[in-house]
C-alpha cells in the first residue's frame, strides 16, 4: 500500500477529524514557498516548489474544513487577547517568489483567501535568484570538475560525488555563514556556472523574487507582507550585531516599500534551533508583534507570539495527506513511530521539513 492510500485510509478512520477537533483552539498556519505551472516537475525542482494545480486542490479541500482568517484577524487577537475562531487557518508564503504574483494570487483570490507573505528584501532589490535555489541548480547540473571545486571550496566533510549529499552539506555550511562569506562563495560559483543553458536560465527565473512594483500592488489589494531578514539569514548562527542588522534593515526597507507598518516575521529555515530567546528579543525591540517558525505543529498564538508554528505543504502532498499533517500530530508520531510506518524526509532545501506517512 502506498503512502497516499495510507493517508486516505487514516482519514477514513476518522483520526484526523478527531485530532482536529481536539486541536480546534490551536491555530493552523500553512506555508508555501514557490509554485509553478505546466508539466509536473517533481524531482527537477527544489522540494519547496508545489504545482499550482496541487496548491489549488489542497486549499479548496482545507477551506471546507477550517475557518480561513487573515493577518488582521491574528493581529487583533494578539492585541486584545481574544480567541480566534475555532479551527482557524492562516495561509502564508515564504520568500515572495515571482510565481506568487503570477500563479498563486489568482487562486487565492478565487478562494477569498488573504495570505501573509514573508519577504527577504535583498532579492527584491537585486533581482537575483534566491541563493539556495541557485546552489541547488548548480549542484544538480554542474560538471564533475566544478562540483569537486565546490567541495574543496567549502571543505565539506566527505569528498563525494553523491550530489544529494553534497547539496545537503553545502546548504548546511552556507546557511551558517555570515552574509559576506556566503556572497564570496556565491561569486565563485557564478564564475563556474558552465552548467547554464537557455533552458536552465528559464529555471533560474522561477527562482527570483517579486519586484517592488508587484509587492506594492499586492499590498494595496489586501495582501499582508512580513519580514524574513534582509538576505535570508538564519538568525541563531549570526553574531548579535549581524542578526539585529538583518532584522531592522529588512523591516525598514519593507515598510518603506509598502508604506505601512510590518508586524509579522518568519524565521528563515524555521527549525527549533534556528532562533532563540535573543532573536525573539531583537524582533520585539524592532516592533514585531508575532514571529513564525516552521516546526510542523499547531499553536495558540497568545501563548508565545514570537514562536507561532507552521506546517509546510510539500510537492508530494495530495489533499488527504496534507489534511492529515495539518492536524499537527505528525511530530508526535515521529517520536513514537513504528519502524517503516512513519518517516521524516531528508531536508535538502531551506524551509523544507516534511513528514510523510509510509515506508
The predicted-structure confidence for 300-345, as pLDDT tens digits, reads as follows 999 999 999 999 999 999 999 999 999 987 776 665 554 443 333 3
Where helices occur in 103-225 by DSSP H, the ranges are 105-110, 121-126, 131-141, 144-154, 163-175, 179-191, 198-206, 212-220
CB contact set of 200 (below 8 Å; sequence gap of 6+): 137, 141
Q: How far apart are CA 115 and CA 107, in angstroms?
A: 11
Evaluate whether 113 touches 92 at the Cβ level (below 8 Å): no
pLDDT at 41: 86
From first CA to last CA, the distance across the chain in angstroms is 9
Q: What is the pLDDT of residue 119?
A: 98
Q: What is the pLDDT of residue 355?
A: 30
Round to whole Å and give the CA distance between 257 and 96: 14
Give the whole-angstrom CA distance, residue 224 versus residue 221: 9
Residue 193: pLDDT band by 50, 70, 90 thresholds? confident
CATH 3.10.580.10 applies to domain 3-128+208-357: no
| Closest to 238 measured CA to CA, from 308, 289, 309, 182 | 182
Say whether 177 sits in a helix, a strand or coil: coil
Percent of the chain with pLDDT over 70: 87
Residue 125, all three cell numbers: 532589490
Tell me the per-residue pLDDT of 91-115, one tens digit each, with 9 for 90 and over. 999 999 999 999 999 999 999 999 9
When pLDDT is cut at 50, 70 and 90, the band that residue 352 belongs to is very low
Whether the CA torsion 162, 167, 172, 174 is positive or negative: it is positive
Q: H-helix or E-strand containing 240?
A: helix 240-258
Of 214 and 194, more confident: 214
Please check whether residue 297 is in contact with residue 37, taking contact to mean a CB–CB distance below 8 angstroms: no
* pLDDT average, residue stretch 78-90: 95
Asked if residue 253 has pLDDT above 50, the reply is yes
Residue 185 has which C-alpha cell?
A: 562563495
Q: Write down the domain spans for the chain.
A: 3-128+208-357, 131-203
Report, as an integer, the average pLDDT of 179-185: 95
Residue 359 in this model has a pLDDT that exceeds 50: no
Amino acid at each position: 500500500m502506498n503512502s497516499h492510500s495510507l493517508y486516505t485510509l487514516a482519514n477514513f478512520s476518522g483520526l484526523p477529524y478527531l485530532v482536529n477537533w481536539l486541536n480546534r483552539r490551536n491555530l493552523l498556519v500553512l506555508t508555501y514557498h514557490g509554485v509553478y505551472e505546466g508539466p509536473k516537475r517533481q524531482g527537477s525542482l527544489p522540494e519547496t516548489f508545489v504545482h499550482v494545480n496541487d496548491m489549488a486542490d489542497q486549499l479548496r479541500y482545507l477551506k471546507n474544513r477550517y475557518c480561513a482568517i487573515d493577518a488582521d484577524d491574528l493581529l487583533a487577537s494578539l492585541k486584545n487577547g481574544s480567541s480566534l475562531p475555532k479551527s482557524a487557518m492562516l495561509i502564508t508564503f515564504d520568500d515572495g517568489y515571482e510565481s506568487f504574483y503570477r500563479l498563486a494570487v489568482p487562486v487565492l483570490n478565487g478562494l477569498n483567501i488573504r495570505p501573509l507573505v514573508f519577504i527577504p528584501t535583498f532579492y527584491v532589490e537585486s533581482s537575483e535568484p534566491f541563493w539556495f535555489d541557485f546552489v541547488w541548480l548548480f549542484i544538480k547540473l554542474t560538471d564533475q570538475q566544478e562540483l569537486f571545486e565546490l567541495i574543496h571550496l567549502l571543505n565539506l566533510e566527505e569528498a563525494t560525488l553523491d550530489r544529494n549529499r553534497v547539496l545537503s552539506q553545502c546548504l548546511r555550511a552556507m546557511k551558517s555563514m555570515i552574509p559576506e562569506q556566503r556572497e564570496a562563495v556565491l561569486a565563485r560559483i557564478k564564475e563556474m556556472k558552465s552548467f547554464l543553458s537557455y533552458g536552465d536560465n528559464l529555471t533560474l527565473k522561477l527562482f527570483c523574487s517579486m519586484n517592488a512594483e508587484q509587492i506594492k500592488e499586492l499590498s494595496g489589494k489586501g495582501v499582508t507582507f512580513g519580514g524574513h531578514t534582509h538576505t535570508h539569514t538564519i538568525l541563531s548562527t549570526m553574531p548579535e550585531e549581524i542578526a539585529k542588522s538583518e532584522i531592522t534593515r529588512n523591516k525598514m526597507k519593507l515598510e518603506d516599500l509598502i508604506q505601512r507598518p510590518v508586524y509579522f516575521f518568519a524565521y528563515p529555515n524555521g527549525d527549533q534551533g534556528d532562533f532563540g530567546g535573543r532573536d525573539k528579543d531583537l524582533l520585539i525591540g524592532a516592533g514585531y508583534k508575532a514571529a513564525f517558525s516552521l516546526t510542523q505543529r499547531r499553536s495558540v498564538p497568545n501563548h508565545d507570539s514570537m514562536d507561532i508554528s507552521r506546517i509546510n505543504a510539500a510537492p508530494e502532498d495530495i489533499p488527504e495527506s496534507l489534511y492529515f499533517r495539518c492536524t499537527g500530530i505528525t511530530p508526535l508520531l515521529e517520536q513514537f513511530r513504528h519502524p517503516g510506518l512513519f518517516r521524516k524526509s531528508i531536508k535538502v532545501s531551506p524551509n523544507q521539513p516534511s513528514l510523510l506517512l509510509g515506508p
